[in-house]
Structure 1
Amino acid sequence: MDDISTGVLLSTLFVLIILSAYFSGSETAMMSLNRYRLRHLANSGHKGAKRAIKMLERPDRLIGLILIGNNLVNILASAIATIIGIRLFGDVGVAISTGVLTLVVLVFAEVTPKTVAALHPERIAFPSSLILRVLLVVLSPFVKVVNFITSTFLRLLGIRSVKADDALSQEELRTVVNEAGALIPQRHQEMLLSIMDLEKVTVDDIMIPRSDLYAININDDFKSINKQVIQSPHTRVLLYRDTIDDAVGFVHLRDALRLQSKGQFSKSSLLRAVKELYFIPEATPLNVQLSNFQHNKERIGLVVDEYGDIQGLVTLEDILEEIVGDFTTSMVTTPSEDITLQQDGSYLIEASINIRELNKEMSWQFPIDGPKTINGLVLEYLEEIPEPNTSMRLYGYPLEVIDVADNMIKTVRVMPQHYLPPTKAK
């Protein structure tokens, strides 16, 4: 290079620094691309996105190509800088050129382009992918050799696949939804999170328990049956013979009222109008049951245990309400009729209330992986049926048993203002 002028060497060095900045910025831009937005743009026909997503399918080839180019450029720049330094400053020029080149490369070929690329990855990556695709063809032999050596070493480390895995776990998807901010309305975020929670919730958690079922004993006096049909708060009523476990079927009030209007209302006509029972095994996840309702074209079913005994009732609306909220109330969360605020800040609560619903309405933290009701939770804790006015601190909440009847706790008082986070299981 003795015959090449210093000016030409400086110009060449300047070009090499620009190339180094290009490779550095391209690497950061390609790796900073949002894979899901990239896939969306590719599906929309964006050519740059299609090139980028194709190259990112094999990140080992992409990184190998960029590093080959970057290292070749930096090594050549170092050699030229050394020659220039010796020409200008003699023997001490090696140290000077090394220091100056290091600073220049660090600022202008590394930090600056990588920062810009990280902030605007699409602007850099899409046009850059066109050049990288050409270089990948030109430098293909070198890239293959480097990848072969790299993949061999990775196999020794126990890494077999070099393909990118962009799949999101459920918790990662939950984080994406939570951090969507204004991109997804708050109400829609809640619905999406509720959908993801369906597999964690079972029919036992949302069913109307056996003790609360509105059902008609077909063996009752006919006048009593007629009165119960008229006063039914539900459009579908369960009919049974003497005991809930001997269920006959569901009758739609529309059918019953039509029979009444025609003067054909009787026990026999009512039995002919019943729909076949649909049974649901307990502990069935809600996402599974939602699919089963759809597949079987059913809207209501009886939850049964392993012995076939009826435990409760679940409807399609119950599952949908887990996603979109209560159909019968406004979207604003307000305490249900089972929760009554007292003047001292405590709450009188019907002990049959579902714990999940209680936690949701009051933002409390009673455990939901055991008993389904406050009554069951207290009985599990005390291991006996308590007397009225029995007090305890249950999972951090001061709680007093107010009313006990029929071997069940009917009402409790909870004082959340004195809540203390539990230090132990109970």
Structure 2
Amino acid sequence: MSDTQLWISTLAILVLLVLSGFFSGSETALTAASRARMHQLEKSGDKRAGVVARLIAARERLIGALLLGNNLVNILASALATNVLLSLFGDAGVVYATLVMTFLVLIFSEVLPKTWAISRPDRFALAVSPIVSPVVSTFGPIVAGVEKIVRFILRLFGVNVEEGQAVLSAHEELRGTVDLQHKEGGLVKDERDRIGGLLDLAELEVSDIMVHRTNVMALNADDAPDKIVEEALKSPYTRLPLWRGESDNFIGILHAKDLLRALARANGNADDLKIEDIASPPWFVPDTTSLQDQLNAFLKRKAHFALVIDEYGEVMGLVTLEDILEEIVGEISDEHDVELPGVRPQPDGSVIVDGSVAIRDLNRATDWDLPDEEATTIAGLVIHEARMIPDERQVFTFYGFRITVLRREKNRITRLRIMPLAENDRVFGVKSAVIPSANAGRG
């Protein structure tokens, strides 16, 4: 081989290594690029983002074309290197060519371009897309043939790639992304909770967040109008259910503003008011309605308040638009809200919790992960796990927490102490015991 041929071959090898690095980096960048970000850039008028989006949409064809181009230039570079080194070192040139090309391909055609691409995939993908697009179009027919051969071979082994489905739904993928971003520091806890609450709307039912009927503040329609006005003004709520005869026989919803307007028209004389004429008809919704559907219904009806009924038509409680919004943004308090001491952290690391506190609210407040599939409240979870109604001073250990029943009223658990256990003390399963009364009365 003459000196001119030697230099031409060496230059060709270098060019082929650069092309190999281009194909490797492009494959990494285009497979790691964010489809959502490309979609947003395309809407903003970036034509290259549209090219990237189309390439990513046909991911199998894209990867096939880039792998084909990468293999072609690598094999050609290796063949030229072997030819050059054979002319210089004889039969030993094969060994030298193998070692040299392995080193060069590994460093300059694989690791370096892929590391560069993965460090800024979106920017890299936008830069290479105008070149990659015609390459994919050129190699498209060859790749299509290769895909058919591959599918045929896989079918021989019982694998049908056309039947493959995504393992995770879009909501699960988003939830996993949010949790990962929170773990890596990209999202603070409050931001993670808000996004998670939004994703949970389709999975939760109104029965999971409703105010139970035992805690509903309602007015007796048979009371004197002046008494109803007095109770309405004392109440921290704007909308109050009206009942008659029996406490669960609701006949209307009284709005404080409507009451004040009627009182103004009557020149302040409450005896002239007809409360039922002021109240609006009650709206009943099934307890199995999802929060997403209920939110849409609230917005459609321009309503803020609904009574929740079970399958037998019995009133279970009430749900408001604010209750649903609080699942997204957290607790909403104003100057008229009554703060209930439902969760009280203790100096020893334990938390004293009212039995009626919702598990979801407790998890948000403490960043715990107690399950809420089988029960809505913390008292309900203890009863579900214990398979009985516990006595006072009884202790249970499950899900990595030691839970002590501090107070019980009839069949209701009203107060508990929850202590997170150290990792090596955690017990999965339920253990119970009775502790001395002196310990149970604290807090």
TM normalised by structure 1 equals 0.83
**Alpha carbons of 1:91 and 1:324: their partners in 2 closer, same or farther (altered >3 Å)?**
closer
Query: Which residues of 2 match residues 226-237 of structure 1 at below 5 A?
Result: 226-237=229-240
Provide the C-alpha distance between the structure 1 equivalents of 2:408 and 2:91, rounded to a whole number of angstroms.
Answer: 97
Residue-by-residue CA offset, 1:220-245 (whole Å, 9 max, x unaligned): 35554343234333222211112133
Q: Secondary structure at the match of 2:202?
A: helix
Shift of 1:88: 1.4
Structure 1 letter corresponding to 2:62: L
Q: Which residue of 1 aligns with 2:171?
A: 170
Provide the C-alpha distance between the structure 1 equivalents of 2:41 and 2:210, rounded to a whole number of angstroms.
Answer: 44
Query: Which residues of 2 match residues 98-117 of structure 1 at below 5 A?
Result: 98-117=98-117
Structure 1 letter corresponding to 2:160: G
Q: Which residue of 1 aligns with 2:438?
A: none
Structure 2 unaligned spans of 5+: 432-443
1:203 partnered with 2:206: yes
Question: Residue 262 of structure 2 contacts residue 273 of structure 2 at CA under 8 Å; is this kept in 1?
Answer: no
Question: Residue 303 of structure 1 contacts residue 313 of structure 1 at CA under 8 Å; is this kept in 2?
Answer: yes
Structure 1 letter corresponding to 2:257: R
Q: Which residue of 2 aligns with 1:357?
A: 361
1:158 partnered with 2:160: yes
Provide the C-alpha distance between the structure 2 equivalents of 1:378 and 1:31, rounded to a whole number of angstroms.
Answer: 47
**Alpha carbons of 1:89 and 1:49: their partners in 2 closer, same or farther (altered >3 Å)?**
same
Question: Residue 13 of structure 2 contacts residue 81 of structure 2 at CA under 8 Å; is this kept in 1?
Answer: yes
Question: Residue 49 of structure 1 contacts residue 126 of structure 1 at CA under 8 Å; is this kept in 2?
Answer: yes
Shift of 1:290: 1.0
Shift of 1:270: 0.8
TM normalised by structure 2 equals 0.80
**Alpha carbons of 1:228 and 1:173: their partners in 2 closer, same or farther (altered >3 Å)?**
same
Q: Which residue of 2 aligns with 1:322?
A: 327
Provide the C-alpha distance between the structure 2 equivalents of 1:417 and 1:138, rounded to a whole number of angstroms.
Answer: 61
Residue-by-residue CA offset, 1:103-123 (whole Å, 9 max, x unaligned): 222222222222222223345
Provide the C-alpha distance between the structure 1 equivalents of 2:389 and 2:124, rounded to a whole number of angstroms.
Answer: 70
Count of residues paired in the alignment: 418
Bigger radius of gyration, 1 or 2?
A: 1
Q: Which residue of 1 aligns with 2:24?
A: 24
Shift of 1:183: 6.0
Q: Which residue of 2 aligns with 1:297?
A: 302
Q: Which residue of 2 aligns with 1:279?
A: 284
Structure 1 unaligned spans of 5+: none
Provide the C-alpha distance between the structure 1 equivalents of 2:9 and 2:421, rounded to a whole number of angstroms.
Answer: 78
Provide the C-alpha distance between the structure 2 equivalents of 1:104 and 1:349, rounded to a whole number of angstroms.
Answer: 64
Provide the C-alpha distance between the structure 1 equivalents of 2:55 and 2:3, rounded to a whole number of angstroms.
Answer: 42
**Alpha carbons of 1:90 and 1:399: their partners in 2 closer, same or farther (altered >3 Å)?**
closer
**Alpha carbons of 1:240 and 1:266: their partners in 2 closer, same or farther (altered >3 Å)?**
farther
Shift of 1:195: 0.9
**Alpha carbons of 1:5 and 1:288: their partners in 2 closer, same or farther (altered >3 Å)?**
same
Question: Residue 299 of structure 1 contacts residue 316 of structure 1 at CA under 8 Å; is this kept in 2?
Answer: yes
Structure 2 letter corresponding to 1:214: M
Q: Which residue of 2 aligns with 1:242?
A: 245
**Alpha carbons of 1:138 and 1:26: their partners in 2 closer, same or farther (altered >3 Å)?**
same
Q: Secondary structure at the match of 2:270?
A: coil
Q: Secondary structure at the match of 2:242?
A: strand
Provide the C-alpha distance between the structure 2 equivalents of 1:137 and 1:417, rounded to a whole number of angstroms.
Answer: 59
**Alpha carbons of 1:56 and 1:347: their partners in 2 closer, same or farther (altered >3 Å)?**
closer
Question: Residue 21 of structure 1 contacts residue 110 of structure 1 at CA under 8 Å; is this kept in 2?
Answer: yes
Provide the C-alpha distance between the structure 2 equivalents of 1:20 and 1:345, rounded to a whole number of angstroms.
Answer: 58
Provide the C-alpha distance between the structure 1 equivalents of 2:161 and 2:420, rounded to a whole number of angstroms.
Answer: 54
Shift of 1:89: 1.8
Structure 2 letter corresponding to 1:64: G
Query: Which residues of 2 match residues 13-92 of structure 1 at below 5 A?
Result: 13-92=13-92
Q: Secondary structure at the match of 1:227?
A: helix
Q: Which residue of 1 aligns with 2:435?
A: none
Provide the C-alpha distance between the structure 2 equivalents of 1:377 and 1:390, rounded to a whole number of angstroms.
Answer: 17
Question: Residue 29 of structure 2 contacts residue 122 of structure 2 at CA under 8 Å; is this kept in 1?
Answer: yes
Provide the C-alpha distance between the structure 2 equivalents of 1:316 and 1:364, rounded to a whole number of angstroms.
Answer: 26
Structure 1 letter corresponding to 2:43: N
Structure 1 range deviating more: 127-136 or 334-343: 334-343
Shift of 1:86: 2.5
Residue-by-residue CA offset, 1:186-235 (whole Å, 9 max, x unaligned): 54333212111223332222222111221122223555434323433322
Shift of 1:256: 2.1
Provide the C-alpha distance between the structure 1 equivalents of 2:3 and 2:350, rounded to a whole number of angstroms.
Answer: 93
Residue-by-residue CA offset, 1:345-396 (whole Å, 9 max, x unaligned): 876654444444344445566653344445555666474585xx55333644
Structure 1 letter corresponding to 2:55: M
Shift of 1:312: 0.8
Question: Residue 309 of structure 2 contacts residue 315 of structure 2 at CA under 8 Å; is this kept in 1?
Answer: yes
Q: Secondary structure at the match of 2:248?
A: strand
**Alpha carbons of 1:136 and 1:425: their partners in 2 closer, same or farther (altered >3 Å)?**
same
Q: Secondary structure at the match of 2:93?
A: helix
Shift of 1:250: 0.8
Q: Secondary structure at the match of 1:172?
A: helix
Provide the C-alpha distance between the structure 2 equivalents of 1:126 and 1:103, rounded to a whole number of angstroms.
Answer: 29
Q: Secondary structure at the match of 2:313?
A: coil
Question: Residue 348 of structure 1 contacts residue 411 of structure 1 at CA under 8 Å; is this kept in 2?
Answer: no
Q: Secondary structure at the match of 1:312?
A: strand
Residue-by-residue CA offset, 1:18-63 (whole Å, 9 max, x unaligned): 2223222322232232222222222222232222222222223223
Structure 2 letter corresponding to 1:159: V
Residue-by-residue CA offset, 1:114-147 (whole Å, 9 max, x unaligned): 2222223345433433223333444454344334
